[in-house]
């Protein structure tokens, strides 16, 4: 695979799988799109700009006094550079319809657009354009996977995502990305509320030759199947006082969807999840109930952390002794944190052990 194509593929993987959804680039004015005589000239120009930003980022990582906003500023510059790169590629492709290097240019355009939140629709069009012109190219499987992955990220395009993922799996079942495509397919089925189909897909994966001999993969799939068993069960009854002294009772939460977030302020993973929950709260607090369930080592430890971080948590929070028998945490069989549970307005569990990026999507669905 050419050097420049490999780089963009890796950047795509980092963008999608580390953050779930990449942030949008700032809407500052951009310089005019420069013209290029060849794709290699275009690529080399942008690669030099990327290397400068990556060097600055590496230097910041080496400094103990680096502030988060300094790293965020460079990440914003990289996203803006992606936007300019996509525009330059589009201009080159449109202006050189007979060029011999359009195949890598079309590939790079689809990849670059797929890294930009507000250009995902264009990314799909670019993928279709690539497949129309280069259906038998070595990079066609990568583009089919990219198309399915991009459609998966777009709420409202779930049926198209299923079709694209099925096409990729059917044509390229031997590829390493096929397992990711299969799991995206399961998550898409759940977005469509097709729990039975998701279960059948997981069961088929568990019985597949790919999983035999891989106990870690088998255990992961078994856990996913067990999570599906919780869907439709009544949320266990509870009656707890929050940190403000107000009693929170399970019956009070019926009639409106609810998000439960089990966490500990001493857990790095929980603190990484917390901003997602807070974002969901800001967006949907009028249409959903939110309840944080802290399992900190003590209630004073939680209160001290919240006093130091007054803006971190806007939703009601209760504290539960993690070792207490018959507590809500025990009734929900929570063994690892952070832990997210979505409950429907009927008081029944809608989704159990939800990942944060899926949670934002589900809360948007439930808020409608």
Helix (H) or strand (E) holding 247: strand 247-249
More confident residue, 27 or 323: 323
Peptide bond into 120 cis (omega under 30): no
Average pLDDT over residues 42-68: 94
Q: How many CB atoms lie within 10 A of CB 49?
A: 14
Percentage above 70 pLDDT, the chain = 92
Residue 29 banded pLDDT, cuts 50, 70, 90: low
pLDDT of residue 62 exceeding 90? yes
C-beta neighbour count of 359 within 10 angstroms = 21
Strand pairing category for 289-294 and 317-319: parallel
- Beta carbons within 10 angstroms of residue 280's beta carbon: 25
* Between residues 24 and 275, the one the model is more confident about: 275
User: Six-digit token pair at 124?
Assistant: 């799909």
pLDDT category of residue 323 using cuts at 50, 70 and 90: confident
Q: What is the mean pLDDT of residues 46-61?
A: 96
The residue-averaged pLDDT of 18-32 equals: 49
Name the pLDDT band for 13 (thresholds 50, 70, 90). very low
Phi, psi for residue 174 in degrees, rounded to 5:
-85, -10
Q: What is the pTM of this model?
A: 0.84
Residues 205-211, mean pLDDT to the nearest whole number: 88
Q: Which of 27-41, 61-75, 264-278, 294-308 is predicted with the least confidence, judged by mean pLDDT?
A: 27-41
pLDDT score recorded for residue 14: 36
Average pLDDT over residues 147-154: 97
Q: What is the mean pLDDT of the chain?
A: 90
Opening angle at CA 318, ends 314 and 321, nearest 5: 145
Does the pLDDT at position 82 exceed 70? Answer: yes
Q: Is the pLDDT confidence value at 94 over 90?
A: yes
CA distances from 41 to 101, 134, 136 (A): 11, 22, 26
Report pLDDT digits (tens) over 310-320.
Answer: 999 999 999 99
How far is 368 from 357, CA to CA, in rounded Å? 18
List, as one string, the DSSP characters of 189-241: HHHTT-HHHHHHHHHHHHHSTTTTT-HHHHHHHHHHHHHHHTTTPBPPP-EEE
Tell me: pLDDT of 19 over 70: no
Q: Which residues contact 1 (CB under 8 A, 6 or more apart)?
A: 9, 138, 139
Task: Please tell me the CATH code under which domain 239-367 is placed.
Answer: 3.40.30.10
- In this predicted structure, what is the pLDDT of residue 202? 95
Mean pLDDT of 101-112: 97
pLDDT band of residue 31 (cuts 50, 70, 90) is: low
Three-state SS across 337-355?
Answer: CCEEEEECCCCEEEEECCC
Res 68: pLDDT: 87
Domain ranges in the chain? 3-154, 239-367
Report the pLDDT value the prediction gives residue 33, as an integer from 0 to 100. Answer: 73
Encoding tokens for residue 190?
């759940």
Answer yes or no: is pLDDT of 11 > 90.
Answer: no
């Amino acid at each position: 695979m050419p050097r420049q194509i490999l780089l963009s593929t890796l950047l795509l993987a980092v963008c999608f799988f580390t953050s779930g959804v990449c942030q949008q680039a700032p809407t500052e004015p951009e310089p005019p799109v420069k013209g290029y005589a060849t794709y290699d000239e275009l690529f080399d120009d942008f690669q030099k700009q990327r290397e400068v930003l990556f060097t600055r980022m590496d230097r910041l990582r080496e400094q103990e006094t680096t502030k988060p906003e300094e790293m965020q500023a460079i990440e914003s510059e990289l996203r803006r550079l992606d936007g300019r790169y996509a525009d330059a590629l589009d201009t080159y492709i449109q202006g050189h319809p007979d060029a011999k290097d359009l195949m890598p240019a079309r590939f790079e355009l689809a990849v670059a657009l797929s890294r930009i939140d507000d250009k995902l629709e264009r990314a799909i069009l670019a993928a279709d354009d690539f497949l129309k012109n280069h259906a038998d190219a070595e990079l066609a499987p990568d583009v089919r996977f990219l198309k399915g992955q991009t459609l998966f990220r777009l709420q409202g395009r779930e049926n198209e995502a299923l079709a694209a993922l099925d096409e990729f799996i059917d044509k390229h079942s031997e590829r390493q990305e096929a397992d990711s495509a299969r799991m995206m397919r399961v998550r898409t089925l759940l977005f469509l509320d097709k729990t039975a189909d998701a279960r059948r897909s997981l069961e088929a994966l568990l019985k597949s030759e790919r999983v035999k001999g891989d106990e870690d993969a088998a255990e992961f799939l078994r856990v996913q199947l067990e999570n599906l068993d919780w869907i439709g069960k009544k949320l266990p009854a509870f009656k707890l006082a929050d940190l403000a002294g107000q009693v929170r009772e399970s019956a009070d939460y019926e009639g409106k969807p609810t998000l439960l977030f089990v966490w500990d302020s001493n857990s790095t993973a929980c603190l990484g999840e917390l901003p997602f929950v807070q974002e969901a709260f800001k967006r949907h607090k009028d249409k959903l109930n939110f309840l944080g369930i802290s399992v900190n080592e003590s209630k004073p430890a939680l209160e001290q952390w919240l006093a130091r971080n007054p803006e971190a948590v806007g939703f009601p929070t209760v504290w539960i002794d993690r070792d207490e028998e018959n507590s809500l945490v025990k009734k929900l069989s929570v063994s690892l944190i952070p832990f997210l549970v979505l409950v429907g307005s009927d008081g029944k569990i809608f989704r159990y052990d939800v990942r944060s990026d899926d949670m934002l999507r589900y809360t948007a669905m439930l808020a409608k």
